Chain A
Amino acid sequence: MELSKAVNSSTTIKKEKKYSPLRELLKNWKKQKNALWASLFILLLITVAIIGPFIAPYDPYKPDYNAMLQGPGIDHIAGTDEYGRDIFSRLLFGARISLTVSFLSVFLGAIGGTILGLLSGYFGGWLDRLIMRSSDVMFAFPDILLAIAIVAILGPGLTNVVIAVSIFSIPSFARLVRSSTLEAKETVFVEAAKSMGASHFRIMFQHILPETLGSLIVFISMRIGTAILAASSLSFLGLGASPETPDWGAMLSLGRDYLGTSTHVVMMPGIAIFLTVLAFNIVGDGLRDVLDPKTKNE
């Protein structure tokens, strides 16, 4: 009896000692009630983006001139637009567009910025000065203005929106990764790796990069909200998706002429953008509290 108790307690100690960063993350994540709900909403949104075209009750492009500007009802949950197209179906298709554009642009920006930030922080010297001065030049334009300028050059379209948003994200990521790299460069394990003859590439990507991941993940989650807002603003201005595309920004842009008579045409895509950006911002806040306790918001 005594023996089994002792065995049990020793296994408990063993279990407690076993540390897993992922388990720790999930444990802390569960405490973030708002962020948990927001992440569930994002999961739902991703599912909708994937299966949306299969569950949409109507063809999002097909006009129905007998059902123009109908308010929300049994036939059309979110009503119809000026061409009689079902707004709910268009929103489902739009989820795929919004998420693809924002994820792609933020990830491209993050990859570019991370590589530049690592190189800049790790090697220092002229390379650091070159990269940082170039990002200063990019910072000389407000974000959305830089995106507008890039789209003006490349021409309107969703692909160019992705390029524009990823380009304006690069300098912010580069600065963030550079400052984490400068910190990580001075640590003992990097010193050890260097003295063992590890290559620059190995030190940067295997030793320093994991150190920057925490703040990088937080920043990515926050930038996705910004990217959705930027992309929808560009579509609203007529520089992004073409008007017939079921893009949330483009839907809002077309619907504004009917604001006085059919408010739902503007309300529905607006709510979709708002809730999505809100969810990403709440998740970003939650991730920051869990992963980046230094900047924890009380």
Chain B
Amino acid sequence: MLKSYRAKGFFRKGLLTVLQYIIKRIFEMIPILFIVSILIFFFTHLIPGDPARLVAGKDATFEEVATIREELGLDKPIWEQYVTYMGNLFQGDLGTSLKTGLPIMDMFVDRFMPSIYLTLFSMVWALVIGLLIGTLSAVFKNKWPDYLGMVSAVSGISLPGFWLGLILIQIFSVQLGWFPTGGADGWKSYVLPSLTLGAGIMSMLARFTRSSLLETLKADFIRTGRAKGLKESIVIPKHALRNSLIPVVTIAGLQFGFLLGGSVVVETVFSFPGMGRLLIDSISFRDYPVIQAELLLFSIEFIMVNLVVDILYSYLNPKIRYTA
């Protein structure tokens, strides 16, 4: 009876404060998104080169360039351009590419999901292998699996992603022929890019899992478990690992956003038809409406991911749950 009463109170209070926390975080997010949109808009307009001249071509006359400038709305004051841009944005119109003349939204449709899959697969690799290496290192502390695990972890953090990608292509695509060298056709084409992208976070998670698990293994309840005669195969996964996962999951979540940045480089190495490669292509062509839309989308994704992690963490961690 007492137990259920406590559980109810705990749940109600917990849920309420978490809800308050979520609402507070969303309200905090709005001005940041607003400022980010202003910054991106104004800064992309600082990119050198005249977009109207770019569309019209090198041989176009002054009048032709002026007409195109008018068509694109570039003759209006910059704040007016911003208001129009934001108005269109809320209606789902991201503008038109200067290079292809296609609506940017259409260009994103085919590229957005492959990029999302790529980051998700990378995170799966990172979690599975990172947790495994970290756990083995902690269990066999100061023995060869620990040394091997930690050497590979510190190496993984130091590896340039683009170099690792090229080496994987050389070994697994060119020499062994197991996976395609690029593109996004079928699951096989995701294996190497996602491994490359996840390597850094994998190493980071291995190190965090190890130190977090070592800390938990010192706790009294582990000693009690062992004293009761529980097997190590139960103590480690059921008691220790479960309790040391909160900081590891938080780090994984926070790093998820950084995968978005890393994807730009990895997609270029693997000629992967995703958002990252489109950004680099647009920069080389100075296709500023695409650059603008890409940067905005990346930052929204990043902010959203961090928000979700914060919310999950606030629910997992009682300290935040009660002080939010």
| Partner-B contacts on A (CB < 8 A) | 133, 136-137, 140-145, 148-149, 152-153, 155, 225, 229, 232-233, 236-239, 249, 252, 256, 259-260, 263, 266-267, 270, 273-274, 277-278, 281-282, 285, 297-298
Contact = CB atoms under 8 A, between A and B. Distances in A.
Contact of B279 (A143, A148, A249): A148
A142 B304 CA distance: 13
Given A144-B261, A281-B157, A298-B211, A252 B302 contact: no
B207 interface: yes
Contacts of A136: 32
A79 B44 CA distance: 42
Given A142-B298, A148-B264, A155 B48 contact: yes
A145 B264 contact: yes
B309 to A, nearest CB: 13
B283 A148 contact: yes
A266 B46 contact: no
Contact of B160 (A140, A256, A277): A277
Interface string B155-167: 1011111110011
B90 interface: no
A233 B161 contact: yes
Nearest to A282: B154
Contacts of A285: 154
A41 B162 CA distance: 24
B295 A149 contact: yes
Contacts of B214: 298
B46 A140 contact: no
Given A149-B43, A152-B44, A267-B167, 13 more contacts: A140-B299, A141-B295, A148-B283, A149-B295, A152-B291, A155-B48, A225-B158, A233-B160, A252-B160, A252-B163, A260-B174, A274-B160, A298-B214
26 contacts: A141-B299, A142-B262, A144-B261, A144-B262, A148-B283, A149-B43, A149-B291, A152-B47, A153-B46, A153-B47, A225-B158, A229-B158, A232-B160, A233-B162, A236-B268, A238-B280, A259-B170, A263-B170, A266-B163, A273-B160, A273-B163, A274-B155, A274-B159, A274-B163, A282-B154, A298-B214
Contacts of A270: 160, 163, 166-167
The secondary structure that dominates the A interface is helix
Interface of B: 31-33, 35-36, 39-40, 43-44, 46-48, 141, 154-155, 157-163, 166-167, 169-170, 174, 207, 210-211, 214, 257-258, 260-262, 264-265, 268-269, 279-280, 283-284, 291, 295, 298-299, 302-303
Nearest to A236: B162
B241 to A, nearest CB: 17
Nearest to A285: B154
B307 to A, nearest CB: 11
Nearest to A296: B211
A140 B32 contact: yes
A145 B170 contact: no
Contacts of B174: 259-260
Q: Which of A153, A232, A249, A252 has its CB near the most chain B CB atoms (within 10 A)?
A: A153
Contact of B265 (A137, A149, A237, A281): A237
Contacts of B48: 155
B260 A145 contact: yes
B1 to A, nearest CB: 44
A-B pairs, 8 with minimum CB distance: A142-B261, A270-B163, A278-B158, A277-B158, A144-B261, A145-B261, A140-B299, A152-B283
B270 to A, nearest CB: 11
A289 B170 CA distance: 38
Nearest to A150: B43
Given A232-B160, A281-B158, A297-B207, A238 B298 contact: no
Nearest to A275: B158
Contacts of A266: 163, 166-167, 170
Contacts of B36: 137, 140-141
Nearest to A253: B162
Q: Which of A142, A236, A297 has its CB near the most chain B CB atoms (within 10 A)?
A: A142
B276 to A, nearest CB: 9
Contact of A238 (B47, B210, B284): B284
Nearest to B36: A140
Nearest to A279: B158
Contact of A142 (B47, B166, B268, B302): B302
Contacts of B166: 252, 256, 259, 266, 270
